[in-house]
Amino acid sequence: SQTIHQWPATLVQPVGSPLSLECTVEGTSNPNLYWYRQAAGRGLQLLFYSVGIGQISSEVPQNLSASRPQDRQFILSSKKLLLSDSGFYLCAWKASGVTDTQYFGPGTRLTVL
Amino acid sequence: GESVGLHLPTLSVQEGDNSIINCAYSNSASDYFIWYKQESGKGPQFIIDIRSNMDKRQGQRVTVLLNKTVKHLSLQIAATQPGDSAVYFCAERRAGTYKYIFGTGTRLKVLA
């Protein structure tokens, strides 16, 4: 069966510090991968998605970036965090091909102080 | 954990009653829809999905109804239980894209 992992689970970072959040998927090959952000009391905002290694589509221009160095690894980064980067970051995957269901990881809660 | 749904519309139902959560979607070209359940501090959990060539789909205690004419989606939960308390999101997938667009969410509170 497929499993999705995210780490760390929680993170407190000062303004201006760098960020690296990691997401890995097990039990599937060539998944579509997604990063979302959820502010408190809000819905999910799509940040990036990837349909293959090295391919990244950006949905929201900001100080975040994403990379996919391996088939089942998706990384969210920032060189300098802003207060507004605080939120709940969710990674999700969808199997390639005809299936459409998207599954989410457990999330990372980021607080920027 | 993370608090979600602080400013979301809330539906309060008595334990054992049926719940109906509604969602309006935006794009008539959307061809696939999902309902998720999100508990506080956790990632959204898949509940049920439906394609645009259907108007109803049933799962265990849940039913999704799709009305393409008015671009409306609903989730019905039968015999609501305390464990159903959570925030529920609908999502639409635009045909020919890889992107999913999420609704704002509804908090379901089950009263004992």
Tens of pLDDT, residue by residue over A37-59, are 998 878 899 999 999 999 999 98
**How large a percentage of chain A has pLDDT more than 90?**
84
Residues A23 and A33 sit within 8 Å (Cβ to Cβ): yes
Q: What is the pLDDT of residues B54-90, one digit of tens each?
A: 999 999 999 999 999 999 999 999 999 999 999 999 9
Does A59 lie at the interface with B, CB-CB under 8 angstroms? yes
Give the pLDDT band (50/70/90) at residue A97. confident
Considering only CB atoms, which chain A residues are within 8 Å of B41? 107, 109
Q: Which of A62, A71, A65 is nearest to A93 (CA)?
A: A71
Does residue B83 belong to the interface with chain A, where contact is any CB pair within 8 Å?
A: no
**CA–CA min distance A94, chain B (Å):** 9
A89 vs B: CB within 8 A? no
Average pLDDT, stretch B21-28? 92
> Which residue among A41, A49, A105 places its CB closest to the CB of B4?
A41
Which residues share a beta bridge with B39?
Answer: none
Judge whether B23 and B73 are in contact, CB under 8 Å. Answer: yes
Q: Which residues contact A51 (CB under 8 A, 6 or more apart)?
A: A32, A57, A96, B98
pLDDT class of B4 with cuts at 50, 70, 90: very low
Q: Give chain A's mean pLDDT.
A: 93
- DSSP letter (8 states) at residue B56: E
* 8 Å CB contact between B8 and A38: no
